[in-house]
Structure 1
Amino acid sequence: MKRYWKPFFLSFLVLLVLFPFTYMVLLSLMSGWQFPDFLPSYFGFKNWATIMTSEGGLLQSFVISVIISLSVAIVTTISGFFISRVVYYHPKSKVLNVLAYFPYILAPVVFAACLSFFFIKLGLFGNVTGVVVAQFLIAFPYALIFFSSFWNQKMKSYADLTATLGGSRLQTYTKVLLPMAKSMLLVCFFQTFLISWFEYGLTSIIGIGKVQTLTIKVFLFIKEANYYYGALSCCLLIFPPVVLLYFNKRYVFKKMV
């Protein structure tokens, strides 16, 4: 009896998970759906066509979001990997690791408000560079915490063995440490990209409305009760995470297994 109901239960769970995404895609194709009409007055790609116009500005927001997230993910992953090694082998590594959690004690909006004075003085308020720096301050501690599990006595022994055999510091990284950390580097890149991609609090404060990322656009359309453009923005918002999830499953997890 349990085996008989199992396929139906699994199918129900799949439909339950896919329903919000399916409904969001359908809603992005609709317009003029008012009570008590059973069906919308229009169903097509008119809303998607506005991406290429200045009316919605979604294409520009999408490009800005991709540039910001890629910049944060690349810089955070590279710097986090090398600096985490210094932190791990530091005499006060435990204290430094605890300090890495400090940005997550405060809410992003409160953290941005605390940083706003310094960003104004440095001329980083209300521009893309400032948003990248602000998001870096959130993503970088995550990279330090993430790579802390990689640096251990085993990695130190590999580095010492390479040096004993005559390898330089550059060869230690390129021939030993980086190949062994390849999967973790990819995972950290994906994670920090998503942290930046879905960041709203810091971007809204530091960007002051001038840097309109895709996340900002979603909330603007929802506040305006423009559910059709809001659904369209959400479709664009979940597209990169879906692509990253595919590559994660296809290339990273298979190699780890």
Structure 2
Amino acid sequence: MKFSWKPFILTLLVVLIVFPFAYMVLLSMASEWRFPDVLPNYFGLRNWTQIFSSETGLISSFVLSIVISLSVAFTSTLSGFLISRSVSYHPRKRLFTLLTYFPYILAPVVFAACLSYFFLMTGLFGSATGVIVAQFMIAFPYALIFFSSFWNERIRQYEELTATLGGNRRQTFLKVLLPLAKGMLLICFFQTFLISWFEYGLTSIIGVGKVQTLTIKVFLFIKEANFYYGALSCCLLIFPPVLLLYINKRYVFNKLI
């Protein structure tokens, strides 16, 4: 009987992947864990209960991050879907598609530094609205690129067929295009939500410390050497993406297969 290393390798990979997340949860529930103690002096939910009564602002940062990410994901997905049609059918499609990659040429921090003057002049500097606009400027091009593969000859024929049968543009959009693009719309919403959710460079510069999203809070706690609250905020940071990943796999990916 031939011996197989595959189960051991798979088990090792699973352990290596799960360990950072398990350790992060463990650290968020610990306190007074100092070298050379093998176990923390306290292990429980004290850190989690304190965030509701303390002035750390984690809950408000969590809510603010949710609002900003949902706003960016919704606006960039919807506008990207609508405008990508005009770009895909335009005679200069290659030029416009090439221009959509411009925000990704520069690092987010450099890109934000270049835009900071205009945000300052328009009064959006240091506000949540300014952060939403700044993040939209990197999420929207992604949506354009993502939907460029949707508009092909088959979709054009569907539109022409609907027009031949007497359907107007509104009916074509609501009853033909949206059902056909439902899976891609959900995936793009998921991706743009993640782009906004984990964005740090643009938020830190355009928000100038006033807009403290959850990502900003994580780095603040790490800089303060508050590893327990840093781990706790990281747990809050990964919860929405994990939930969206489950929804994406459960209701989108399986149906596409």
TM-score (norm 1): 0.98
Q: Can you list the C-alpha shifts for 1:160-181, whole angstroms capped at 9, x where unaligned?
A: 1110111100111111111000
Tell me the distance in 1 between the aligned counterparts of 2:148 and 2:5.
Answer: 45
Letter aligned with residue 47 of structure 2: N
Q: For this pair of structures, how many residues does the alignment match?
A: 257
Tell me the distance in 2 between the aligned counterparts of 1:83 and 1:53.
Answer: 46
Tell me the distance in 1 between the aligned counterparts of 2:124 and 2:191.
Answer: 25
Tell me the distance in 2 between the aligned counterparts of 1:83 and 1:38.
Answer: 57
Tell me the distance in 2 between the aligned counterparts of 1:50 and 1:88.
Answer: 52
Structure 2's unaligned 5+ residue stretches are none
Q: More displaced, 34-43 or 145-154? A: 34-43
Instruction: Indicate the percent of aligned positions where both proteins have the same amino acid.
Output: 72
Tell me the distance in 1 between the aligned counterparts of 2:214 and 2:81.
Answer: 28
Tell me the distance in 1 between the aligned counterparts of 2:16 and 2:224.
Answer: 28
Tell me the distance in 2 between the aligned counterparts of 1:170 and 1:46.
Answer: 54
Tell me the distance in 1 between the aligned counterparts of 2:184 and 2:248.
Answer: 11
Q: Which residue is 1:19 aligned to?
A: 19
Letter aligned with residue 144 of structure 1: L
Tell me the distance in 2 between the aligned counterparts of 1:95 and 1:180.
Answer: 27
TM-score (norm 2): 0.98
Letter aligned with residue 34 of structure 2: Q
Q: Residues 72-151 of structure 1: matches in 2 within 5 Å? A: 72-151=72-151
Letter aligned with residue 204 of structure 1: S
Tell me the distance in 1 between the aligned counterparts of 2:164 and 2:38.
Answer: 76
Q: Taking structure 1 as reference, are residues 232 and 94 closer, same or farther at Cα in structure 2, changes over 3 Å only?
A: same
Tell me the distance in 2 between the aligned counterparts of 1:77 and 1:200.
Answer: 21
SS at match of 1:52: coil
Q: More displaced, 229-238 or 47-56? A: 47-56
Structure 1's unaligned 5+ residue stretches are none
Q: Which residue is 1:52 aligned to?
A: 52
Q: Which residue is 1:31 aligned to?
A: 31
Q: Residues 167-182 of structure 1: matches in 2 within 5 Å? A: 167-182=167-182
Tell me the distance in 1 between the aligned counterparts of 2:97 and 2:9.
Answer: 44
Q: Can you list the C-alpha shifts for 1:50-96, whole angstroms capped at 9, x where unaligned?
A: 22124221000000000000000001110000000011111111100
